[in-house]
């Protein structure tokens, strides 16, 4: 979910030029709250995608309602919760390292410390983490967060491990208002569906997060509307397979295109993004919503995974290279100027040099603005693990990945250079990471822009002229403050 190359922990949203599974450091929820009398303080560390960050916010609000306090300092915590990612082996290894460290602390200096594992590793590694390695006290799967207060109380009382890894077909946490602990007060994530039914051959998500289920429209609209009232300027709607969203509302099927349309009616000044989508669910109706609604950003994270039809078939992606390229062309003709990012896997089972070359040639054809690129990592239970041999040598995977990254960096730089001299409406997200004298924010097309602060402030829309760039960032100077309504005229 952020983020390249092959990085396995979440990328800070403030600098995210992307919205996918990216990653470079674990996240700690960004607020301190007091515990009610007699209650304990919790430290939550989050790995993986934006969905995990959104889930950690849910967990924080569930525990907050029970009087737990939140701390950003692991040393001050009575309860440490690690929200985990299982998508690649490396991600799992990192989490294990952290758990071992907390366990050592508990044994050596802090016997009352409670250590919990949340999320994607819970189901798969429950036995190992609990029985064999005795690393944790509480294990809670992604559909069982409501049970967390009970489980924490149980382990505190009995000294025994407490577990709930039940995967639900219904749970969407629709009625729970997440507390935006991890937000800049400008852009927020809204979870609209959970799980995935696609069963791509390489992917562990359907096993860790269960079946697809969509959250009711009314609760999504209510949450977005509340965010507007609170002054938020951007929502990113989230789901493992977000554009397969579908619910029955009063006998009428609402799909993703209609949902976005309805969210866009809430405010003319609220930008709308989404992540992460599957090409098979990228309908013309959805593209027309991008075209017709000025606040629906002209950017799609549209993972291709590979450039060869034969590899896509082995990956069970359900589309061919040609169908994917047609989709990109259709999108560009319906929504001129739309930008794309993607996910690409190098070294999938049986990948030949010729097949790898097809990935490079597809990248050259599409010219993505941005990509998340990974070496294939075999995951347990997946179709690929059961049916294919992970037979591309590590050195070859690495070399192919490096070629993919080099090509993408060059393309990103070329595309950014073409933007020099153009003006864009930037939603200011905060200070730039490098200097307090500069602000950063993103264009409609999800390009990060850095410019001199002057008298502008986070939360404002500012027209910025691009004067320079790197492959990851546009540099510019502010022209004037603006609004989305003005921009659309
Ligand atoms: N190995 C490497 N990359 C993977 N991804 C998912 N599973 C694997 C795996 N087993 C990548 C895909 C997906 C992104 C979130 O992570 O590109 O779109
Ligand atoms: Fe994994 Fe494929 Fe589902 Fe994405 S669509 S979460 S890659 S199974």
Angle at the Cα of 332 (from 328 to 333), degrees rounded to 5?
Answer: 120
For ligand 1, which residues put their CB under 6 angstroms from it?
A: 1, 21, 87-88, 202-203, 303, 305, 343, 345, 374, 376-377, 379
The verdict on whether omega for the bond into residue 5 sits within 30 degrees of 0, i.e. cis, is yes
- Ligand 2 geometric centre to CA of 277 (Å): 9
Segment 166-184, tens digit of pLDDT: 999 999 999 998 878 667 8
Per-residue model confidence as pLDDT tens digits over 19-67: 333 444 677 766 677 777 778 999 999 999 999 999 999 999 999 999 9
Give which of 417, 439, 416 is closest to 428, Cα–Cα. Answer: 439
Tokens read off for 102: 């907390």
Residue 9 pLDDT greater than 80, yes or no: no
DSSP-derived pairing of the beta strands 461-469 and 448-452: unpaired
Nearest atom, ligand 1, residue 375 CA? 2
**Four-point Cα dihedral 445, 272, 5, 438, nearest 10:** 70
pLDDT tens digits, one per residue of 217-246: 999 999 999 999 999 999 999 999 999 999
pLDDT tens digits for range 362-372? 999 999 999 99
The pLDDT value recorded for residue 25 is 62
Which pLDDT belongs to residue 28?
Answer: 73
205 ligand 2 Cβ < 6 A: yes
- Domains identified in the chain and CATH numbers: 5-164 (3.40.50.12160), 423-488 (2.40.50.140)
User: Which ligand has its closest atom nearest to the C-alpha of 305?
Assistant: 1
Nearest ligand by distance to the CA of 241: 2
318: left (phi over 0), alpha (psi -120 to 50) or beta: left
Q: Residue written as tokens 């405010």?
A: 267
11: which DSSP letter?
A: P
- Ligand 2 atom closest to 197 (CA): 3
Identify whether the C-beta of residue 173 lies closer than 8 Å to the C-beta of residue 58: yes
Ligand lying closest to the C-alpha of residue 4: 1
CA of 202 to the centre of ligand 1 (A): 7
Site to probe by mutation for ligand 2, drawn from 85, 196, 210, 385 as the one with most ligand atoms within 8 Å of Cβ, is 196
Tell me the pairing of strands 299-301 and 339-346. parallel
The number of C-alpha atoms within 13 Å of 101 and in the hemisphere containing its C-beta is 11
Question: Is the beta carbon of 278 within 6 A of some atom in ligand 2?
Answer: yes
Q: Is the CB of 206 under 6 A from ligand 2?
A: yes
Using the mean position of ligand 2's atoms as its centre, give its distance from the Cα of residue 255 in Å: 19
Q: Which ligand is nearest to the CA of 8?
A: 1
**Ligand 1 site-directed mutation target among 374, 386, 390, 392, most atoms within 8 Å of CB:** 374
pLDDT at position 2 over 80 = no
Distance, CA of 257 to CA of 283 (rounded, Å): 8
Using the mean position of ligand 1's atoms as its centre, give its distance from the Cα of residue 146 in Å: 28
For the CA of 211, the nearest ligand: 2
For 277-309, letters b (16+ CB in 10 Å) and e give bbbbbbeeebbebbeebbbbbbbbbbbbbbbbb
Pick from 203, 275, 319, 342 the residue to mutate for probing ligand 2's pocket: most ligand atoms within 8 Å of its CB.
203
Q: Which ligand is nearest to the CA of 3?
A: 1
* Across 298-326, average pLDDT: 98
Ligand 2 center from residue 308 Cα (angstroms): 18
Q: What mean pLDDT value characterizes the chain?
A: 91
Task: State the CB neighbour count (10 A cutoff) for residue 158.
Answer: 9
In this prediction, residue 29 carries a pLDDT of: 67
Beta strand spans in 198-337 (E): 213-214, 234-238, 246-249, 252-255, 271-275, 299-301
What is the arithmetic mean of pLDDT over 347-357? 98
Assess contact for 80 and 45: CB atoms under 8 A.
yes
Residue bearing the CA closest to ligand 2, atom 1: 203
CA distance 379 to 206: 12
Q: Ligand 2 mean position to 196 CA, how many Å? A: 6
Distance 6 CA to ligand 1 centre (A): 9
Look at residues 422, 421, 441 and name the one whose alpha carbon lies nearest to residue 430.
Answer: 441
Q: How far is the CA of 328 from the centre of ligand 2 (A)?
A: 20
The pLDDT-based confidence of 275 (bands split at 50, 70, 90) is very high
Q: Is the peptide bond before 56 cis (omega within 30 degrees of 0)?
A: no
Q: Is 241 in the pocket of ligand 2 (CB under 6 A)?
A: yes
| Token code pair at residue 189 | 């994530």
Does residue 250 have a pLDDT over 90?
no
Burial of 468 (0-12, 13-18, 19+ CB in 10 A): middle
Pocket test for ligand 1, best of 345, 371, 390 (most atoms within 8 A of CB): 345
User: What's the mean pLDDT in 406-411?
Assistant: 98
């Amino acid at each position: 979910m952020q983020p390249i190359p092959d990085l396995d922990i979440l990328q800070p949203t403030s600098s995210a030029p992307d919205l996918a599974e990216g990653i470079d450091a674990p996240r700690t929820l960004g607020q301190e709250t007091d515990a009610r009398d007699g209650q304990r303080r919790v430290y939550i560390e989050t790995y993986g995608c934006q969905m995990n960050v959104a889930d950690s916010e849910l967990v924080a609000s569930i525990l907050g309602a029970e009087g737990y306090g939140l701390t950003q300092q692991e040393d001050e915590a009575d309860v440490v919760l690690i929200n985990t990612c299982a998508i690649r082996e490396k991600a799992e290894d990192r989490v294990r390292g952290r758990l071992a460290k907390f366990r050592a602390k508990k044994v050596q200096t802090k016997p009352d410390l409670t250590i919990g594992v949340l999320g994607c590793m819970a189901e798969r590694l429950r036995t190992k983490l609990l029985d064999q390695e005795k690393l944790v006290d509480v294990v809670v799967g992604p559909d069982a967060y409501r049970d967390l207060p009970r489980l924490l109380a149980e382990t505190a009382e009995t000294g025994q491990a407490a577990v709930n890894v039940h995967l639900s077909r219904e749970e969407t946490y629709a009625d729970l208002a997440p507390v935006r602990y991890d937000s800049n007060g400008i852009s927020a994530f809204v979870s609209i569906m959970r799980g995935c039914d696609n069963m791509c051959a390489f992917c562990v998500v359907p096993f860790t997060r269960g079946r697809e289920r969509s959250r009711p429209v009314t609760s999504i609209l209510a949450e977005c509307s509340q965010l507007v009232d609170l002054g938020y300027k951007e929502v990113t709607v989230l789901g493992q397979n977000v554009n397969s969203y579908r619910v029955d509302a009063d006998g009428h099927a609402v799909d993703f295109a209609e949902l976005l349309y309805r969210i866009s009616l809430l405010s003319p000044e609220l930008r709308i993004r989404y992540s992460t989508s599957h090409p098979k669910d990228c309908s013309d109706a959805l593209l027309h919503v991008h075209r017709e609604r000025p606040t629906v950003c002209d950017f799609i994270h549209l993972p291709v995974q590979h450039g060869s039809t034969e590899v896509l078939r082995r990956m069970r992606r359900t589309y061919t290279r040609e169908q994917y390229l047609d989709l990109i062309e259709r999108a560009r003709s319906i929504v001129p100027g739309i930008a794309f990012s993607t996910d690409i896997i190098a070294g999938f089972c049986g990948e030949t040099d010729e097949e790898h070359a097809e990935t490079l040639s597809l990248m050259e054809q599409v010219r993505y603005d941005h990509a998340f690129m990974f070496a294939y990592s075999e995951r347990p239970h997946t179709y690929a693990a059961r049916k294919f041999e992970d037979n591309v040598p590590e050195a070859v995977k690495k070399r192919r990945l490096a070629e993919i990254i080099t090509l993408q960096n060059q393309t990103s730089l070329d595309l950014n250079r073409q933007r020099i001299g153009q003006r864009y409406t930037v939603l200011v997200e905060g200070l730039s990471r490098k200097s307090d004298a500069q602000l950063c924010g993103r264009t409609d097309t999800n390009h990060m822009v850095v410019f001199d602060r002057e008298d502008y402030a986070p939360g404002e829309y500012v027209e910025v002229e691009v004067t320079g760039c790197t492959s990851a960032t546009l540099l510019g100077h502010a022209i004037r403050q603006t609004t989305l309504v003005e921009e659309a005229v």
